Amino acid sequence: MFLRIAITLQTVALFTAPITAGLLLTSPSGRTLHSASAYGVFAVAVLHLIVAILVWRPGGGSPRPILYAAGFLALVLAQVALGIAQMVTLHVPLGVLLFGLSLLQLSRVPAVRDAAGGSTTRGVRPRASYAGGAPRAD
């Protein structure tokens, strides 16, 4: 559950970055806002790595999310460096790639399970009856 929350926050932070980039081009305070969104993306990427480690080590989960989170953090650092260097031709496509990767990872994180073991966020299939009206036996 915590990994899903961290990746959701990361995706939202990445969604706000191009919005503030547009403000960077149109308003005097845009540079400050875009810088703040970059700090936010970096902070959430670090949080994502920490959560991935905590899910793996004490939680007994798979170490695979750690590799993804570490690689993602490396790409975020490259994104920040490209932004500081004002290399827009590489900065913009990398930002799009980061957002796409974050959405992809969000879609692959297991859904939260309820107390009965059923999924509460996706894959829920109500028990339907057949056309004859007899309930279906699962």
Domain boundaries, the chain: 2-108
For 75-123, how does the pLDDT look when each residue is reduced to its tens digit (9 = 90+)? 999 999 999 999 999 999 999 999 999 999 999 887 665 445 554 544 4
Cα(8)–Cα(40) distance, rounded to whole angstroms?
13
Name the pTM for this structure: 0.76
State the sign of the Cα–Cα–Cα–Cα dihedral 110, 112, 114, 120: negative
Q: Does residue 29 contact residue 71 with C-beta atoms inside 8 Å?
A: no
DSSP state of 28: T
Helix axes 2-26, 30-56, angle to 10 degrees: 170
On average, the pLDDT of the chain sits at 84
